[in-house]
Amino acid sequence: MTWLFRHLLRLLLLAFGFLLLLWATGLIAYRWVDPPATPLMAIRAVQGESIRYRPVALEHIARPLRQAVVASEDARFCLHAGIDLGAVRDAVEDYQESGRLRGASTISMQVARNLFLWNGGGFVRKALEAPLALALDAFWPKRRILEIYLNIAEWGPGIFGAEAAAQAHFGRPAAELSQAQAARLAAVLPNPIRWSAGRPTAYIEARATTIGNRIGQLGPGQTGCFTTSR
C-alpha cells in the first residue's frame, strides 16, 4: 500500500511538472507567436463545430471593440497586475451580504484560463488561474494580453476572435467595426452561445447601450496601455 501511494504521488508530481513545463513554454512562445488553437477550440471541434479562427494584430481590430471589451469586462485592466484586488474584495462583500458569488475575473485571468485551463467553475481552476494571470502580466505587455484575448475569445458556435466574429456577424473585417457593433460583441461575451451579436435581443441591445456609455467614462489611465494609432 505504501509503495502504491508513493508510485501514485510520483506520477502526480511528474504530471504536474509536465504541466508547468507546458505553461512556461506557452508563456514564452505566445508572447510573440499566436496560439494555433486553445482547449476550448478543441472541445468545440470534438462537439462537431467548424472552427473559424483568424488572429490579427491589435492594430487591425477597431478601437471601439478594444474599448468596449475593456469597459465591459475589466475597466481596471491597465491599472492592475493581473488580479483586480478591489473587484475581488467587492465580490466577497456581495457574497457575504447576498449569498451570491459574482465573478471578479480580469482580462488577464480570462486569457490564462482560455489558453491553459478549462471552462467552468471550481476552486482548483481558480487556484491555477490566479498565478497564471500574475505571470502573464509580469512577462507580457498589456497590449499583447488584450490582443490575445480579442483573438481567442469565443463569439458564437465555433467563432473565435474579433476577425472571425466581425465577418460572421457583420460581414466586415474587425478593423471596420462601428461603435454600435463593437458594443454588441462585448455585450454577448458572457454567453456567446446563447446570445448573438448579429441578431441581438432587446436585452443585448440594452446591455450594448450601457457598454457604450461606459466607453465614454473611460479615462486615459484606463486606455493608455493598449492605445494604438488606429
DSSP the chain: -HHHHHHHHHHHHHHHHHHHHHHHHHHHHTTTS--S--HHHHHHHHTTPPPEE----GGGS-HHHHHHHHHHH-TTTTTSSSS-HHHHHHHHHHHHHHS-------HHHHHHHHHHS-SS--HHHHHHHHHHHHHHHHHS-HHHHHHHHHHH-B-STTEESHHHHHHHHHSS-GGG--HHHHHHHHHTTT-TTT--SSS--HHHHHHHHHHHHHHHH--HHHHTTT----
Q: What integer pLDDT is reported at residue 94 of this predicted model?
A: 58
Q: What integer pLDDT is reported at residue 204 of this predicted model?
A: 96
pLDDT, averaged per 10 consecutive residues of the chain (230 residues), comes to 68 72 87 94 94 96 96 92 74 54 78 87 77 93 96 96 97 96 96 94 96 89 74
Asked whether residue 12 is domain-assigned, the answer is no
- pTM as predicted: 0.88
Q: What integer pLDDT is reported at residue 219 of this predicted model?
A: 84
Asked whether residue 207 is domain-assigned, the answer is yes
Asked whether residue 14 is domain-assigned, the answer is no
What CATH number did the domain enclosing 198 receive?
Answer: 1.10.3810.10
| 114-159 per-position pLDDT tens digit | 999 877 766 777 788 889 999 999 999 999 999 999 999 999 999 9
Asked whether residue 2 is domain-assigned, the answer is no
Asked whether residue 10 is domain-assigned, the answer is no
Range of the domain at 112: 29-223
Q: What integer pLDDT is reported at residue 4 of this predicted model?
A: 67
Q: How many domains does the chain have?
A: 1
Asked whether residue 58 is domain-assigned, the answer is yes
